[in-house]
């Protein structure tokens, strides 16, 4: 018979992994201001904008609901698993910090080569605009990620319309370049 690890060890690992995720996200959040220092039309062509908390709530609504459920679940299992309560408290603290990080206004930028979102840089070759677009955000898909690839962008209506115009131009330029290399 195989001995399973104790509930306390499993809880420790789960909380440590969550703490690592929160620290990782905090790093990327601080990086976004360096990557996108100015807003509006960019000197080399492109566009940068910033969202507000309400835009991030619209952008992240699914994640927010999932996090709320994840905050409640451990409490139902504490007694049955004989896990110390401190792990449930720490779990909720780290999830609350993660929730807050999801709601912090973000900076986005579109250049001729990359999209800057969430403190990260995505080359256009790895992104595509989703065929069906939600009303109050832009939905991009990361190539090769399947159902785990949505990359929503938040912001106010005018910024999103401008950004979508730039994104469509990037897609047309990319498909034009692809068509010209095929014909050679």
56 located within any domain: yes
Residues 2-16 have pLDDT tens digits of 788 888 899 999 999
Residue 106 is assigned to a structural domain of this protein:
yes
Question: 37 burial class (0-12, 13-18, 19+ CB within 10 angstroms)?
Answer: exposed
pLDDT tens-digit profile of 79-123? Answer: 888 889 999 999 999 999 999 888 888 999 999 889 999 888 999
Taking residue 86's Cβ as centre, other Cβ atoms within 10 Å add up to: 12
Q: Which of 12-21, 48-57, 139-148 has the highest mean pLDDT?
A: 12-21
User: How many domains in the chain?
Assistant: 1
Q: Which two tokens stand for residue 160?
A: 């999103």
Would residue 1 count as lying in a domain? Answer: no
Residues 6+ apart with CB under 8 A from 142: 122, 126, 127, 149, 150, 151
Q: Is 131 in a helix, a strand, or coil?
A: coil
Residues of the chain with pLDDT > 90, as a percent, come to 32
Query: Domain range spanning residue 56?
Result: 7-183
* 2 domain-assigned: no
The verdict on residue 164 lying in a domain is yes
- pLDDT of 179 > 80? The answer is no
Q: Which of 44-48, 95-99, 180-184 has the highest mean pLDDT?
A: 95-99
Once rounded to an integer, what is the mean pLDDT over residues 23-44? 88
Is 101 a member of any domain?
Answer: yes
Of 127, 105, 104, nearest to 115 by C-alpha is 127
Whether 52 is covered by a domain: the verdict is: yes
pLDDT over threshold 80, residue 147: no
Instruction: Tell me which of 34-48, 53-67, 77-91, 157-171 is least confident.
Output: 53-67
CB-CB contact of 95 with 67 (8 Å): yes
β-strand partners of 115: 110, 122
């Amino acid at each position: 018979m195989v001995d399973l690890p104790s509930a306390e060890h499993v809880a420790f690992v789960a909380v440590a992994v969550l703490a690592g995720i929160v620290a990782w996200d905090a790093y990327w959040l601080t990086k976004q201001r360096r990557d996108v220092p100015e807003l509006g039309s960019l000197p080399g062509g492109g566009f940068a904008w910033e969202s507000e908390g309400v835009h991030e709530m619209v952008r992240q609504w699914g994640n927010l609901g999932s996090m709320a459920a994840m905050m409640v679940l451990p409490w139902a299992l504490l007694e049955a698993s004989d896990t110390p309560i401190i792990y449930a408290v720490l779990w909720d603290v780290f999830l609350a910090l993660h929730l807050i990080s999801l709601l912090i206004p973000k900076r986005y930028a579109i250049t001729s080569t990359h999209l800057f979102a969430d403190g990260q840089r995505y080359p256009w070759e790895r992104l595509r605009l989703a065929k069906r677009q939600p009303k109050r955000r832009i939905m991009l898909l990361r190539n090769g990620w399947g159902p785990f690839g949505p990359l929503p962008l938040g912001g106010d209506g005018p910024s999103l319309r401008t950004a979508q115009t730039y994104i469509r131009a990037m897609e047309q330029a990319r498909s034009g370049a692809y068509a010209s290399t095929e014909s050679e």
